[in-house]
């Protein structure tokens, strides 16, 4: 085999791009050119917004710099340690506080909802939080109801904070006017708005800061941006000055993420243990086969931290998905001490793993989005713990299959919270798979049900193809309904399907 030295050769060949020198030169060049590009972009910002935008671009530059520096996986698989005994507390061991203390505890809490997402994946316009999910109530309506109920019941003052993105802020501001008379103070702030980077040049594709005019050139950098944006907005300092101690943060579309008095009691009430405060809590729940891709808790370099599937070397992905090896997954319900957030930010030690999100835009341009996840900050705090919570605290609505569950008789609505029916024999939710072609958009999904079937005794439902459901249908056990291409199946009103496979063609004709 010929030994060819690494030097420039004639023609269109160039220095092999896997050499260390090549990488270092490319990185230095990219960083210098990025600074120039950002300076040029900042010149196009109107004066009144300049200070805020400069702060954001500093955050982007720091993220970009780390993206260039980091080589190889952020976790060495063989160095993952077994979770220590006390690392994950069982929810059942937590105590309820004395009634007299609840108001004081609530007055030290801030509830934050991540509200940056759009409803486009479910065929809806505007923020996802304004999609009706139950009794014509939206995610946002239910959240406001939950907090108002707490404030009224305990005569407390828990504020609601919404972290919007540039995609959702205008619509959200219009919607929250309707809550003016409610006993809930609502605050909003925007997460950062970062420029998308060309995958080829590693430079921003934006030409100026007219975001609305070129919305494709910008993106919100994931919910890990919460900490810095919360501080930049001035709200972190404001709440600390008010004497508030913790924030409870969750996704707006997780209908199970309600304020939990037992967890709050563990942080600042009768159940607090030891001298040192708990700075960070990640709610985890038992992994099932449906959750194998969800982030999990690991012990690494003497700290608890979040491990996401994107960080796992390819040869260990099956190990990561194993329910035996990694028993828990992250619900993205986070409790964090406000004072500790400020300390970590001021010390500039908030170094969350970077998620590199590759996308191809409608115009064919290949771009990179640099993002971070809110739970990845766990390793930056002292005294973090996991709490293994019941599955009922994880009830996200990502697809219409989730919507089917929350609209059904599996749940009843109580003060904005969904409560599972006592008639359900076991606390697990059924596994539902609805075909993308006919059920993925909310409007089409709703048109296929005369009303939502009875799901109390359902274990598993798969529906594929052109299928409709009449009124009063009951689904029990495992039900599989498959209409082949060109066929249609109409499930008649009042039908009871128990452990059934239905396929072929079944039309109900109007007489």
Query: Which residues are catalytically annotated?
Result: 398
Token pair, residue 367, equals 């771009």
- Nearest Cα neighbor of 214 from 361, 3, 59 is 361
- 506 - beta bridge partners? 489
52: Cβ–Cβ under 8 A, 6 or more apart, which residues? Answer: 232
CB atoms under 10 Å from CB of 173, counted, come to 12
- What 3-state DSSP class applies to 123? coil
Phi/psi of residue 296, nearest 5 degrees: -130, 165
- Nearest Cα neighbor of 244 from 145, 347, 157, 182 is 157
- 462 - beta bridge partners? 433, 480
- DSSP-assigned letter for residue 211: T
CB 452 within 8 A of CB 407: yes
- Nearest Cα neighbor of 104 from 296, 274, 267, 316 is 267
| Spatial separation of the C-alpha atoms in residues 11 and 7, rounded to whole Å | 13
Q: Are strands 474-483 and 496-504 parallel, antiparallel or unpaired?
A: parallel
């Amino acid at each position: 085999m010929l030994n060819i030295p690494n030097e420039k050769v004639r023609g269109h060949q160039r220095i092999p791009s896997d050499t260390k020198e090549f990488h270092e030169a490319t990185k230095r060049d990219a960083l210098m050119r990025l600074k120039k590009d950002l300076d040029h972009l900042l010149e196009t910002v109107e004066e009144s917004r300049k200070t805020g935008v400069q702060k954001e671009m500093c955050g982007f530059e720091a993220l970009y710099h780390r993206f260039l520096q980091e080589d190889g996986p952020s976790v060495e698989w063989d160095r993952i340690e077994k979770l220590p005994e006390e690392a994950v507390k069982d929810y059942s061991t937590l105590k309820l506080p004395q009634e007299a203390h609840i108001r004081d505890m609530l007055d030290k809490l801030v509830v934050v909802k991540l509200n940056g997402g759009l409803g486009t994946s479910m065929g809806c316009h505007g923020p996802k939080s304004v999609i009706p999910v139950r009794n014509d109530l939206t995610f946002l309506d239910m959240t406001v109801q939950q907090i108002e109920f707490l404030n009224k019941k305990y005569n407390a003052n828990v504020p609601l904070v919404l972290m919007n993105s540039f995609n959702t802020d205008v619509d959200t501001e219009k919607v929250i006017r309707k809550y003016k008379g409610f006993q809930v103070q609502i605050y909003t702030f925007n997460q950062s708005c970062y420029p998308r980077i060309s995958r080829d040049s590693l430079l921003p594709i934006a030409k100026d800061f007219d975001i609305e005019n070129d919305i494709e050139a910008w993106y919100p950098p994931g919910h890990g941006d919460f900490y810095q944006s919360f501080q930049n907005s001035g709200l972190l300092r404001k709440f600390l000055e008010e004497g508030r101690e913790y924030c409870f943060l969750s996704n707006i579309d997780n209908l199970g993420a309600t304020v939990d008095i037992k967890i709050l009691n563990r942080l600042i009430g009768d159940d607090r243990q030891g001298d040192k405060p708990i700075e960070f809590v990640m709610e985890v729940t038992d992994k099932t086969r449906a959750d194998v891709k969800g982030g999990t808790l690991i012990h690494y370099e003497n700290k608890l931290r979040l491990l996401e599937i994107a960080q796992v070397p390819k040869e260990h992905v099956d190990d990561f998905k194993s329910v035996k090896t990694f028993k828990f997954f992250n619900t993205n319900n986070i409790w964090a001490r406000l004072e500790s957030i400020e300390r970590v930010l001021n010390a500039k030690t908030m170094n969350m793993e970077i998620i590199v999100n590759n996308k191809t835009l409608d115009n064919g341009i290949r771009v990179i989005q640099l993002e971070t996840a809110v739970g990845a900050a766990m390793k930056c705090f002292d005294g973090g713990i996991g709490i293994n919570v019941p599955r009922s605290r994880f009830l996200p609505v990502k697809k219409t299959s989730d919507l089917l569950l929350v609209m059904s008789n599996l749940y009843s609505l109580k003060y904005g919270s969904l409560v599972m029916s006592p008639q359900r024999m076991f606390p697990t939710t059924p596994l539902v798979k609805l075909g993308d072609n006919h059920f993925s958009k909310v409007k089409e999904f709703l048109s296929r049900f005369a009303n939502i079937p009875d799901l109390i005794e359902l274990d598993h439902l798969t529906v594929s193809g052109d299928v409709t459901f009449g009124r009063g249908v009951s689904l029990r056990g495992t039900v599989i309904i498959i209409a082949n291409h060109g066929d249609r199946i109409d499930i008649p009103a009042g039908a009871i399907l128990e452990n059934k496979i239905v396929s072929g063609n079944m039309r109900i004709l109007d007489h």
